[in-house]
């Protein structure tokens, strides 16, 4: 290989960079990694202090912001803006619906859903939410436990991603704006001014949030993988083994993203969804089917009936300090912050694959269809875990006490017929879902740090893959799940504000476009862009 062939990838990498966004984002990530290497206790202390302040004093903000997003997406689904096309009026979607949904779902939630599927309901069954108010490990606690898993992983989680994706896709595919988070500013500053300092500041925040959110997921699911290895082999990997395993997983998702959306992410997403369906159906059939249906149906009814009340519940009456209660802060606020920290990369990824679709198609697929797949998983896993614990067939709570949340799935599957096979399939599912979530985030980081390129260079993606993997390993070794949750709450805070900014952007842009259609006039400008909006076909 000649020197020119060797230098070409590096030259491509340097030419594509947005040096400000990449430089600041890289430095922040590198400082975080070095901090946990050199002063782990000090770094953890600062992070935990910031985390405590955010969930106790400002936890109410996360709840309000998320509910506003849910209400707005409901309007998009049922309102007149749903027909607006993300692209030219006659443009067809780039991907089939099946490929589109598989990639969207795998990128948006799948890694976390595998980790918490067997774990969360059994937690709530034992340590009951004050909102449910039932006695621990009672039948009422079982219904409330699954109800809360639906709440944490259902409509609200998916709404945040869709809200971030839609304005980016709209301005990118109708006005040639760059695929980056700062594009949500287009209605105010114009597409031509998206290199301004405020735009770069938002993109830098997006890099920071993505690193924190993805490191959280990589750490949580990586710990589940490690516990699975220990469970099946009886060998503890230790801290050095943890770093090595996370490094291996990092290499795997970096290879996947280097292959691109078509060859890498799309094919692996198909495999994920197929295996996900197999594990769900097998557990449902081999497990306590009647119990799953009974408790799951009641929990779904309670979730739908009490959704608004749960969305605003802070548990202040149970809090000694008068703020957000510890249970709400440790669960609901953590989840909302985690979803907000994921909005930059999942929003960008959804925008990247949504060209040619309408606003309603993206919203329905991203929120309704995704929630429709998520609920059966949590009903099956949560119902099975509670039934096995209650009947004495598996002491899952003891395993969780010894091995942590990551160990919940293995005694569950072991207690079922074909338990050995199911355990192996579950471990494979953990790995492949981790890879798809991580590779889509690495692609998004590449897009953010190159000014919006749809296909960033391999060198760029490798750099971000290494940094995310390193940070996840160090968070696991120094602080475990608590450190990972703290990282998510801290990095998600700014994006609760930017998500509301995205709502305002859509209100301004979509309102102008819809008004144009109703008046049947041409040549109306989108405020701040100087571009012309054409009328939409409202078929």
The predicted structure's pLDDT at residue 190: 85
DSSP three-state, residue 530: coil
Is residue 9 in some structural domain?
no
Is residue 392 in some structural domain?
yes
Sequence-ordered list of residues with C-beta below 8 angstroms from that of 387, at least 6 positions apart, any chain: 287, 288, 291, 292, 393
Rounded CA gap, 75 and 519, in Å? 21
Number of structural domains in the chain: 1
- Per-10-residue mean pLDDT of the chain, 539 residues long, equals 53 67 74 69 71 75 94 94 89 88 79 81 91 91 96 93 94 89 89 85 81 70 73 68 70 61 67 89 95 96 96 77 73 87 85 92 94 95 94 88 77 89 84 71 74 69 72 63 61 85 92 58 43 39
Q: Are 73 and 525 in contact (CB under 8 A)?
A: no
Rounded CA gap, 147 and 278, in Å? 24
Is residue 3 in some structural domain?
no
The predicted structure's pLDDT at residue 481: 52
The predicted structure's pLDDT at residue 527: 40
The predicted structure's pLDDT at residue 365: 94
CATH of residue 117's domain is 1.20.1740.10
Is residue 535 in some structural domain?
no
Is residue 457 in some structural domain?
yes
Is residue 351 in some structural domain?
yes
Q: Could you report the per-residue pLDDT of 295-318, keeping only the tens digit for each?
A: 999 999 999 999 999 999 988 766
Mapped to the 3 state alphabet, what secondary structure does 71-137 carry? Answer: HHHHHHHHCHHHHCECCCCCCCCCCCHHHHHHHHHHHHCHHHHHHHCCCHHHHHHHCCCCCCCCCCC
Radius of gyration for the chain, computed over Cα atoms and rounded to the nearest angstrom: 23
Is residue 285 in some structural domain?
yes
Structural domain of residue 498, as residue ranges? Answer: 18-529
Average pLDDT, the chain: 80
Is residue 537 in some structural domain?
no
């Amino acid at each position: 290989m000649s020197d020119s062939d060797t230098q070409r990838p590096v030259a491509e990498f340097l030419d594509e960079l947005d040096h400000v966004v990449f430089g600041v984002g890289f430095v922040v990530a590198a400082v975080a990694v070095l901090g946990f290497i050199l002063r782990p206790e000090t770094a953890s202390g600062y992070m935990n202090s910031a985390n405590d302040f955010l969930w106790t004093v400002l936890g109410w903000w996360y709840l309000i912001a998320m509910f506003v997003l849910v209400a707005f997406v409901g309007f998009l689904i049922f309102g007149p803006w749903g027909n607006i096309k993300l692209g030219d009026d006659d443009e067809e979607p780039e991907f089939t619906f099946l490929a589109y949904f598989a990639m969207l779902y795998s990128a948006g939630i799948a890694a976390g859903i595998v980790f918490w599927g067997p774990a969360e309901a059994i937690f709530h069954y034992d340590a009951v939410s004050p909102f449910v108010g039932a006695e621990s490990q009672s039948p009422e606690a079982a219904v409330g436990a699954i109800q809360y898993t639906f709440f944490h992983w259902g409509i609200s989680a998916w709404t945040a991603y869709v809200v971030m994706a839609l304005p980016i896709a709209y301005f990118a595919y109708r006005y040639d704006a760059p695929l980056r988070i700062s594009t949500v500013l287009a209605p105010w500053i114009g597409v031509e001014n998206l290199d301004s300092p405020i735009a770069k500041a938002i993109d830098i925040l997006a890099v920071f949030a993505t690193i924190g959110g993805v490191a959280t997921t990589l750490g949580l699911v990586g710990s589940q993988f490690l516990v699975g290895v220990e469970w099946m082999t009886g060998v503890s990997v230790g801290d050095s083994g943890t770093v090595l395993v996370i490094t291996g997983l990092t290499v795997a998702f970096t290879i996947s993203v280097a292959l691109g959306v078509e060859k890498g992410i799309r094919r692996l997403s198909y495999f994920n969804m197929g295996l996900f369906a197999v594990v769900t159906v097998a557990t449902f059939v081999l497990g306590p089917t009647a119990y799953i249906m009974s408790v799951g149906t009641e929990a779904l009814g309670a979730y739908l009936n009490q959704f608004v009340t749960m969305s605003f519940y802070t548990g202040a009456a149970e809090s000694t300090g008068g703020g957000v209660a510890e249970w709400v802060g440790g669960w609901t606020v953590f989840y909302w912050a985690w979803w907000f920290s994921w909005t930059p990369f999942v929003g960008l990824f959804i925008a990247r694959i949504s060209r040619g679709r309408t606003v309603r198609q993206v919203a329905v697929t991203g929120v309704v269809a995704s929630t429709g797949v998520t609920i059966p998983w949590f009903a099956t896993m949560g119902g099975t875990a509670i039934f096995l614990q209650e009947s004495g067939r598996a002491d899952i709570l003891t395993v969780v006490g010894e091995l942590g949340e990551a160990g919940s799935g293995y005694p569950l599957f072991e207690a079922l017929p074909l338990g050995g096979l199911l355990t192996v399939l579950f471990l494979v599912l953990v790995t492949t879902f981790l890879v798809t979530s991580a590779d889509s985030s690495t692609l998004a980081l590449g897009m953010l740090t190159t000014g919006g390129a749809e296909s960033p260079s391999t060198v760029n993606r490798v750099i971000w893959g290494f940094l995310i993997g390193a940070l996840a390993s160090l968070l696991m070794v120094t602080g475990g799940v608590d450190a990972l949750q703290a990282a998510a709450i801290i990095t998600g805070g700014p994006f609760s504000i930017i998500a509301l900014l995205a709502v305002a952007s859509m209100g301004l842009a979509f309102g102008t476009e819809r008004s144009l259609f109703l008046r049947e006039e041409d040549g109306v400008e989108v405020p701040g862009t100087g571009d012309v909006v054409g009328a939409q076909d409202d078929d």
